[in-house]
């Protein structure tokens, strides 16, 4: 039986270094994106491990295409707004609650603006096989453009649309998203500022944030992401944590 709650609750927090030299990283899980039939889109990021310090974020796109990112963490500039903030109408701090109410049932809350968002994830038989394989794929497989393209084709077959795992962020960082496991989300409710956002839906075109595509349907992912640093100052974030040995090529 799928039990995401046991796997993802109380993950250890760690400030570390990216496994690839010249990169910064995040590791954790989140709702990659979830469109609603009202035109709203929500996303969640929970990254207890990264270069800068643990944080959670909730992303929101309104029906007019305006993005906001709410950060529960120490600094805006070392959380998701670091890469996507220039494409947002608003970025700011919030208190974000993340609670599993069942093995695959999740509740996310924000204090201001008031958000109460619930969802249920599930795994198809085909995803179960892909996820089992994904857990054992070496990190070096993400350096192969053909293997990355293969993963993008699998995402398209899942109905996630035209996703690109690699690309340039609105900030100018070149990044790569590395989902190891993915789970679909079709059941969800969300009340934002007293307004019901409607039913989850599957879009014909991927929602975009600064030219970067999010999924056309709801998906929860576990994995990591890395971005090339733009300068030597950026990488000096955890001086007290020894850098790992370079991985084998």
Question: What per-residue confidence (pLDDT) applies to 237?
Answer: 55
- Give tens-digit pLDDT for 216-241: 999 999 999 999 998 744 544 554 44
Report the chain's mean pLDDT, rounded to a whole number: 92
Q: Looking at the DSSP assignment, which residues form a beta bridge with residue 120?
A: 105, 187
Rounded Cα–Cα distance for residues 49 and 194 (Å):
33
pLDDT reading at 247 higher than 80: no
Question: What per-residue confidence (pLDDT) applies to 249?
Answer: 36
Decide if 82 contacts 55 (C-beta within 8 A): no
Question: What per-residue confidence (pLDDT) applies to 235?
Answer: 45
- Give tens-digit pLDDT for 134-151: 888 999 999 999 999 999
Rounded Cα–Cα distance for residues 156 and 192 (Å):
29
Lowest-confidence pick of 116-120, 236-240, 245-249: 245-249
Helix (H) or strand (E) holding 134: helix 125-134
In this prediction, residues 86-114 reach a mean pLDDT of: 97
């Amino acid at each position: 039986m799928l039990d995401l709650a046991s796997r993802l609750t109380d993950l250890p927090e760690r400030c570390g270094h990216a496994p690839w030299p010249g990169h910064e990283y995040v590791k954790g899980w989140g709702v990659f994106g979830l469109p609603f039939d009202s035109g709203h889109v929500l996303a969640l990021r929970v990254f207890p491990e990264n270069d800068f310090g643990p944080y959670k974020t909730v992303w929101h796109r309104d029906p007019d295409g305006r993005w906001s990112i709410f950060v529960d963490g120490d600094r805006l500039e070392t959380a998701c707004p670091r890469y996507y903030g220039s494409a947002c109408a608003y970025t700011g701090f919030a208190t974000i609650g993340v609670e599993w109410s069942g093995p695959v049932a999740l509740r996310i809350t924000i204090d201001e603006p008031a958000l109460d968002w619930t969802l249920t994830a599930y795994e198809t038989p085909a995803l179960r096989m892909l996820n089992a394989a994904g857990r054992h794929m070496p990190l070096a497989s993400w350096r192969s453009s053909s293997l990355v393209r293969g993963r993008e084709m699998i995402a398209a077959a899942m109905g996630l649309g035209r996703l690109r795992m690699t690309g340039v962020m609105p900030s100018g960082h070149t990044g790569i998203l590395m989902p190891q496991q993915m789970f679909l989300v079709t059941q969800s409710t969300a009340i934002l500022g007293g307004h019901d956002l409607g039913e989850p839906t599957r879009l014909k075109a991927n929602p975009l944030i600064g030219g970067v595509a999010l999924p056309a349907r709801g998906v929860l992912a576990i994995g990591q992401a890395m971005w090339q640093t733009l300068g030597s100052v950026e990488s000096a974030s955890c001086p007290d944590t020894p850098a790992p040995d370079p991985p084998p090529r």
